Amino acid sequence: MSKRAKVNGGRLEFLPPQIPTRVERPPEDEGWVHEANLDGYRTQIIIDNGGVRLYSKNGRDWTTKYWPIALAVDLPCRTATLDGEVIVPGEQGASDCPALEAAIWN
């Protein structure tokens, strides 16, 4: 069953994300999608006539914590819901969780 974003007076609402399941070995069948664990914060970006809003995976509005991302969003669309992982890459390219937390909480 697919979930659809609700529309409230022309504004899209937060849509709870599907949470991946950790397994010892990924399935090899076709039709499965695999993703790397990036050690960041799952984030939903909503773009609509109300502007840009960013939410934590639990639906908390983190737009002010992620203000640099909110200001950088510039997509040629009227509405969109994006789901992804916010990370800060370290010197070797891997995710640097302490740097991400410092950026968010300062």
Q: Where are the domains of the chain?
A: 37-98
- Per the structure block, which two tokens stand in for 34? 């695999």
CATH number for 37-98: choose from 3.40.920.10, 1.20.1440.230, 3.30.470.30, 3.20.20.70. 3.30.470.30
Strand ranges inside 1-101, DSSP E: 7-8, 11-12, 41-48, 51-56, 80-86
SS3 (DSSP) at 73: coil
Percent of the chain with pLDDT over 90: 59
Distance CA 27, CA 70 (A): 36
Query: What average pLDDT does this structure show over 27-44?
Result: 86
State the chain's mean pLDDT as an integer: 87
Is the pLDDT higher at 106 or at 13?
13
Residue 28 has pLDDT above 60, yes or no: yes
Residue with tokens 């997509």: 75
Note the pLDDT tens digit of each residue in 36-57.
778 899 999 999 988 999 999 9
* DSSP type of residue 17: P
Residue 4 has pLDDT above 60, yes or no: no
Residue 6 has pLDDT above 80, yes or no: no
Note the pLDDT tens digit of each residue in 61-85.
999 999 999 999 999 999 999 999 9
Query: What average pLDDT does this structure show over 9-29?
Result: 84
